[in-house]
């Protein structure tokens, strides 16, 4: 497809970009991306009713792209599903509009397709002019809190491809047949945690996810903490827990979840986002009948034990965006001891009653 690319026998790629008032970002990302695509690839831009000319920018900077201009902002999750539904490539690559591919990205992001053991993988997401790591694999705490792994570290030299607990949706490649079998992202998540939900379901279904460090994008990343973001993060964290966690794991982490809720309510009150935290709780209560129905479908497809699933989670709250007290040595020791007990209990349950966990 692309200028600057050449046809190869490598798998074809369908890149899906979901934009929302992203014109300035697309003006940087699209020229870099177009040169990485080859004949047989396709580019799909889903525009969420932007008011800044994002759709026009996509047509201008990538004339060969298919632009889906939606009449309303449906969010990243549903927008990605719309775009992927139009894809014909062997691989679907989701790319944030502010994630500019570095030279060699096109060849590198296809490389793991030769592996039979990976169903999905991410590129290395860098930031600050590709000088530092934004994420080299998202980390998931057993309470469902997730963050960008390695954020702020220097780009590691000689990093080899390896498995990750959760692949970042900022640059995510999925085999198309896997995407279709998985049913995509949960539409209702709108924004945040949809990539965590997808990755953990991959593991739950006996599939694997990894990172290809030579496929690098420079992400214009800013953590931000608007009140609305907290509502989405908290709502979707609980939706993920209800949908994806095996029952035995939920039982054993329930005490920690209650303590976490109390701590987050206090934090929200101090931080001025208590209204958003309460709104998230109301959202989850309203969603509960649907979430329980989805849970039955998700758990019916589970192919690994609760103990094996739990090994993809961490007891350490190591994100730089988490408060110092939660990252203290005392808290770390307490959480690790608790998690060792949970893992031991899950293993005992599996040995005593196989198939029940």
DSSP string of 39-54?
Answer: TT-EEEEEE-S-SSSH
Q: Backbone phi, then psi, for 45, in 5-degree steps?
A: -110, 120
The Cα–Cα gap between 152 and 76 comes to 25
Q: What angle do CA 290, 293, 299 make, to 5 degrees?
A: 135
The Cα–Cα gap between 237 and 254 comes to 14
Question: Can you tell me the mean pLDDT for 49-59?
Answer: 97
Residue 86 DSSP SS3: coil
pLDDT of residue 262: 96
pLDDT of residue 8: 46
Kindly tell me if the per-residue pLDDT of 158 is higher than 60: yes
pTM, entire model: 0.93
Is the sign of the CA dihedral 145, 147, 149, 150 positive or negative? negative
| pLDDT tens for each residue of 289-325 | 999 999 999 999 999 999 999 999 999 998 877 877 7
pLDDT of residue 108: 98
| pLDDT tens for each residue of 69-127 | 999 999 999 999 999 999 999 999 999 999 999 999 999 999 999 999 999 999 999 99
The helix or strand, by DSSP H or E, that contains position 152, with its residue range, turns out to be: none
Residue 140's CB is within 10 A of a number of other CB atoms, namely 22
Where b means 16+ CB within 10 Å and e means fewer, 74-84 reads bbbbbbbbbbb
pLDDT of residue 124: 98
Give alpha helix (H) positions in 86-224.
Answer: 105-110, 176-182, 194-204
Domains of the chain, CATH where assigned:
13-219 (3.90.550.10), 227-352 (no CATH)
| pLDDT tens for each residue of 225-238 | 567 899 999 999 99
Six token digits for residue 188: 């209702």
pLDDT of residue 357: 66
Distances (CA, A) of 147 to 64, 140, 144, 193, 237: 35, 7, 10, 10, 12
Distances (CA, A) of 242 to 92, 249, 290, 295: 27, 11, 10, 7
CB 200 within 8 A of CB 140: yes
Beta bridge partners of 163: 210
Question: Can you tell me the mean pLDDT for 2-18?
Answer: 73
pLDDT of residue 324: 78
Six token digits for residue 329: 């040595």
pLDDT of residue 329: 87
The Cα–Cα gap between 145 and 157 comes to 28
Question: Can you tell me the mean pLDDT for 248-276?
Answer: 96
Q: Backbone phi, then psi, for 2, in 5-degree steps?
A: -95, 155
Q: How confident is the model at residue 223 (pLDDT cuts 50, 70, 90)?
A: low
pLDDT of residue 267: 92
pLDDT of residue 52: 96
Q: Backbone phi, then psi, for 186, in 5-degree steps?
A: -70, 115
Where b means 16+ CB within 10 Å and e means fewer, 321-341 reads eeeeebeeeebeeebeebbee
Question: Percent of the chain at pLDDT above 70?
Answer: 96
The Cα–Cα gap between 204 and 79 comes to 25
Give alpha helix (H) positions in 1-136.
Answer: 23-34, 54-61, 75-85, 105-110
Instruction: Tell me what the pLDDT averaged over the chain comes to.
Output: 94
pLDDT of residue 136: 96
pLDDT of residue 4: 41
């Amino acid at each position: 497809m692309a200028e600057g690319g050449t046809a190869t026998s490598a798998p074809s790629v369908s890149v899906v970009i979901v934009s929302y008032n992203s014109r300035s970002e697309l003006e940087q990302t699209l020229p870099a991306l177009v040169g990485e695509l080859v004949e047989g690839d396709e580019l799909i831009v889903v525009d969420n009713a932007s008011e800044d000319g994002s759709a026009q920018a996509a047509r201008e900077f990538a004339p060969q792209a298919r632009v889906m201009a939606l009449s309303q902002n449906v969010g990243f999750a549903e927008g990605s599903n719309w775009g992927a539904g139009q894809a014909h490539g062997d691989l679907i690559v989701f790319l944030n509009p502010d994630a500019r591919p570095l030279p060699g990205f096109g060849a590198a992001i296809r490389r793991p397709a030769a592996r039979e053991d990976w169903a999905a993988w991410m590129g290395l997401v860098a930031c600050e002019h590709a000088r530092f790591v934004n994420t080299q694999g998202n980390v998931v705490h057993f309470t469902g809190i997730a963050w960008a792994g390695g954020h702020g570290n220097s780009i590691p030299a000689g990093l080899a491809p390896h498995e990750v607990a959760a692949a970042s949706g900022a640059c995510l490649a999925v085999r198309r047949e896997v995407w279709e079998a998985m049913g995509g992202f949960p539409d209702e998540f709108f924004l945040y945690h949809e990539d965590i939900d997808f990755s953990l379901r991959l593991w739950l279904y006996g599939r694997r996810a990894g990172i290809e460090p030579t496929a690098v994008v420079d992400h214009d990343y800013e953590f931000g903490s608007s009140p609305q973001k907290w509502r989405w993060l908290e709502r979707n964290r609980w939706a993920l827990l209800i949908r994806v966690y095996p029952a035995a794991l939920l039982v054993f982490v329930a005490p920690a979840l209650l303590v976490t809720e109390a701590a987050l309510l206090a934090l929200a009150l101090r931080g001025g986002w208590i209204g958003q935290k309460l709104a998230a709780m109301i959202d989850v209560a309203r969603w509960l009948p649907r979430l329980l129905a989805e849970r039955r479908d998700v758990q019916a497809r589970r192919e690994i034990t609760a103990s094996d699933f739990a090994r993809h989670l961490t007891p350490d709250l190591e994100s730089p965006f988490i408060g110092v007290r939660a990252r203290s040595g005392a808290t770390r020791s307490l959480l690790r001891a608790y998690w060792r007990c949970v893992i031991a209990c899950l293993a005992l349950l599996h040995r005593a009653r196989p198939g029940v966990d």
